A and B are shown apart, each in its own frame.
Chain A
Amino acid sequence: MPGALSDVKILELGELVAAPYASKLMADMGAEVIKVERPGVGDRSRTRGPFPKDDPHPEKSGLYLYLNTNKLGVTLDIATAEGLEILDKLIAGTDVLIHNIIPPEMDRVGLTYERLKRINPKLIMTSITPWGLDGPYRNWRAEDLTIWSAGGVCVLNGGGPEYADLPPLKTFGSQSGFQGGIHSAVATMGALFARLRDGDGQHLDCAMQEAIAAQLEMTFEYWPYMKMIATRLGQKPLQPVETFMAKDGYIYLCCIEEHQWQNFVHVMGDPEWAQMEIFNNRLARGLNWDALRPMLEEYVSQQTVLGLYKAVQARRVPFAPVSTMGTLLDNEHLKARGFFVEIAQPVAGTHKYPGAPLKYEKTPWGIRMPAPTLGQHNQDIYAGRLGMTAARLAELQRKGVI
């Protein structure tokens, strides 16, 4: 069965994570994506790794290979007049342009919606930028970490008494990119749905800073509602909600409701200390955490992660293993659901990758082809679709346009 988006054509001018992730989400649901990369260099994610045997190679970067499944790849220097002319031809034949070219660069190459909509009035142009297309930060330099921080998440992590002197801590990976990508994919799907009704294209201005500032749990509202700064410092009000070392790894203890604590105490064999008044409700356990922590450390250190996890889950207590990459790959539940998928790519070889984020009853998620090598589909697209002659292709190649 074809994917839900098999009639959608996307052109991607993407670097690193945000735009590539947005178009991957759609490609994996059946959309045709043509990814445009800079000649000779390619997407910056090709330099990010991880690389098999730690051997950096532009066709072997794990981040690139993951983010660009199911895409056709061409090279094109859009900063040249000839390159821009070819880009315009590609835009004429696409439904959606997804890019994360920063605004100063958009200005420089003339990548404006005003111009592109004259070429293709039905075009949906999704611009994913760190700070948005207007506003005072429009032209500011940004990297994933600076956006994560400026969106208001980074300040929340780390801290607690043990880490008070250490800086706010970033979450692993390129999280601003992923959040910019998925929120933009939602907006893009909204625009595609509207186009079925209205027949018109439009321009979407998606700001990564805003995608992060939109998901700060309850922390932002502490300022407008109570004039309080939400900080990573200080004690947690409720406990236990913390990571502990078991015999064979880490486990996350999580007792938020009173019955969860009672059930955990029962699993521990109803030790006498657990009946002490200083531990008799969740706020008391937070206040007396210094006394409670060593008791729990002692108990958990004698358990296995899965042994304790399954024992408390049987009583509906929401502990979780602190999964490592190894335990994820070996996990019985994820195996039963067939989460990880093997993808063979001619240069990088065959590896397991994260699979379908969701399972659809009628419109399957699927990997039809691995990420493209740099310029792999130049011939197919430029000769096959745009009708360029071999001589013209050779000339463009000589000039470095493709």
Chain B
Amino acid sequence: MAKQPPLAGIRVCDFTWVWAGPYCTLQLAHLGAEVIRIETKTRPCVTRQLPPWPDGQFVGLNRSGYFNQYNQGKKSLALNFKHPEAKEIARKLISKSDILINNFAAGIIEKMGFGYEEAKKLRRDIIMITLSGYGDTGPWQDYVAYGPAQVPLSGLSSLTGYKDFPPMHAGFSYADPNAGVHGAFALLTALYHRAKTGEGQYIDMSQWECAMDLLAEGILEYTMNGREPVRNGNRDPQMAPHGNFKCIDWPEKIMDMTIDRWVSIVCADDAEWGRLANAMGQPELANDPRFQTLAARKQNEDQLEAIVQKWTSARTVEDVIAILQPANVAVGAVADNRYLSTDANLTARNFWVYKDHPEVGKRQHAGIPWRMSGTPTEVRAAAPTLGQHTDEVLTSILGYSADDVASLRDLGALD
């Protein structure tokens, strides 16, 4: 018999916003926790105000695809903290929560009156985490961190780039989701510890430090050999070919721009190179002295890539994959969002989630990247509209009566 999801009965008081924090609490919601986002109308989550919108323009706080992706399965409680009653509601919620989480700039959560010392008084065994850019200690602790800037700060940018060109980005605010998912791991570890001992705790997270796990190879190059790694595009020191190769463009233009399409192809050893040469209809290349060994392929990599490129450039992404995967060559589409939306694997595995949302209807959203055989997990609902669960949280969790709620609303304490 299918059981409850792992975190059934675990309540999360969620003060996070933008991306890192919401990505953290999304993992907890995926695992079945009741995540209650505290929101305000005066400072609504940044992502509620960012595109994409179904109308192509900003016409309301509940219509952003960005917000609606990372807040699936959560509840929204809208408060106005100018009123002391709102603070009292938040305190009551903390006293009934297992986890308290925020990603405000340093000192803000304390100023609001919900720092760890206060929270512990409200709930003896609370587990609290602050997902900050720089961490809670150290000379740069008060510095401001924005998603895009954390990638270069981490060190990933100086390692990423085309040969002989300046450092490049990761293409997205990579340190944010990375911090979020590491934060979720830490919270689960702390929950496990609490289940064994009854003891809560505080967790200090620096998004910067979390991101440095991802570049251990670069750091060790420096600590072992005193040398900065050289940026080398998509190439790999031990595999060739190893890169992205151009195929036929999408047939239609988008906003007057041609959108190019690519595939990734990797040959991990000589045998795989032989399979690729055969599949390209050029079996003689397998034993060509220019390409026969890894050392030779690395030496003649420009020529090697030109040959593969010439072959792919006359084909569609779909054709290249249909030829190379049966030949057991590592190939994948350089998938854009359009390609992903109909990707055969993600579709067949029911990765995509379509939950009804009162303002945007059923939209395609990314779901949960794991399946659990014993305690199935699922996205339970679309992202909440702002304040959608205010009444429910106040009455069913915090014990307010319908009359109490009405007078709190009249007072302006509820947003």
Contact = CB atoms under 8 A, between A and B. Distances in A.
B145 to A, nearest CB: 6
Contacts of B224: 50-52, 62, 351
A276 to B, nearest CB: 25
A215 B23 contact: yes
A316 B145 CA distance: 9
A193 B174 CA distance: 28
Interface string B1-24: 001111100000000000100010
Given A143-B266, A194-B374, A204-B372, A326 B244 contact: no
B391 to A, nearest CB: 29
Nearest to B65: A221
B372 A190 contact: yes
Contacts of A295: none
B28 to A, nearest CB: 9
Interface string A127-157: 0000111111100111101111111111111
A64 to B, nearest CB: 10
Contacts of B329: 141
B408 to A, nearest CB: 32
Contact of B238 (A47, A252, A325, A361): A47
B374 A200 contact: yes
B337 A171 contact: no
Is chain B's interface secondary structure helix, strand, loop, or mixed overall?
mixed
A360 B69 contact: no
A135 B350 CA distance: 9
Q: Which of A5, A168, A175, A320 has the most chain B CB atoms closer than 10 A to its own CB?
A: A320
Contact of B336 (A198, A231, A326): A231
A273 interface: no
B144 interface: yes
A173 B166 CA distance: 17
A137 B345 contact: yes
B181 interface: yes
Nearest to A137: B345
A226 B54 contact: yes
A157 B51 CA distance: 19
Contacts of A362: 190, 193, 199, 201
Interface string A20-33: 01000100010000
Contacts of A147: 332
B302 to A, nearest CB: 14
Nearest to B224: A52
B337 A354 contact: no
A167 B246 contact: yes
Interface string B327-355: 01111111111111101111011010000
A389 B173 CA distance: 55
B160 A171 contact: yes
B244 A149 contact: yes
Interface in A199-220: 200-207, 209-211, 213-220
Contacts of B221: 49-50, 62, 325
Nearest to A138: B345
Interface stretch (B34-42, B76-84, B359-367): B359-367
B115 interface: no
Contact of A175 (B182, B185, B214): B214
Interface stretch (B88-96, B203-211, B284-292, B392-400): B203-211
A328 to B, nearest CB: 5
A113 interface: yes
Contacts of A261: none
A388 B19 CA distance: 52
A5 B192 contact: yes
A113 B373 contact: yes
A192 B344 CA distance: 32
B370 A222 contact: no
Contacts of B161: 169
Interface stretch (A77-85, A330-338, A375-383, A392-400): A330-338
Interface string B276-307: 00000000000000000000000000000000
Contacts of B259: 229, 231, 233
B19 A333 contact: no
A270 to B, nearest CB: 21
B374 A198 contact: yes
A202 B340 CA distance: 29
Contacts of B195: 193, 196
B405 interface: no
Interface in A230-283: 230-234, 241, 243, 245, 250, 252, 254, 256
Given A168-B334, A183-B370, A229-B338, A329 B219 contact: yes
A229 B337 contact: yes
Q: Which of A152, A316, A356 has the most chain B CB atoms closer than 10 A to its own CB?
A: A152
A49 B360 CA distance: 49
A173 B215 contact: yes
Contact of B153 (A49, A67, A221, A252): A252
B262 A167 contact: yes
A182 interface: yes
Contacts of B177: 215
Contacts of B375: 190-191, 194, 198, 202
A62 B214 contact: no
A189 B237 CA distance: 35
B239 interface: yes
B273 interface: no
Q: Which of A113, A131, A198, A357 has the most chain B CB atoms closer than 10 A to its own CB?
A: A357
B47 interface: yes
A348 B368 CA distance: 40
Interface string B186-204: 1011111101100101111
Given A4-B189, A189-B192, A351-B224, A167 B332 contact: no
Contact of B220 (A65, A158, A222, A256): A65
Q: Which of A147, A187, A313 has the most chain B CB atoms closer than 10 A to its own CB?
A: A187
A339 B215 CA distance: 14
B201 A325 contact: no
A189 B172 contact: no
B2 to A, nearest CB: 11
B325 interface: yes
A215 B19 CA distance: 10
A319 interface: yes
A207 B370 contact: yes
Interface string B226-259: 0011010110111100111110001000110101
Contact of A241 (B148, B157, B336, B372): B148
Nearest to A226: B52
A173 B225 contact: no
Contacts of A21: 213
- Ranked nearest first, the 8 interchain pairs of A and B with the lowest CB-CB distance are A221-B65, A202-B374, A157-B171, A62-B220, A156-B171, A325-B222, A146-B332, A150-B332
9 contacts: A142-B330, A154-B334, A168-B244, A169-B161, A173-B214, A207-B349, A232-B171, A318-B149, A322-B167
Given A222-B51, A354-B209, A360-B190, 12 more contacts: A25-B185, A131-B345, A141-B328, A145-B264, A154-B264, A168-B262, A169-B171, A172-B231, A173-B215, A206-B369, A226-B56, A243-B167
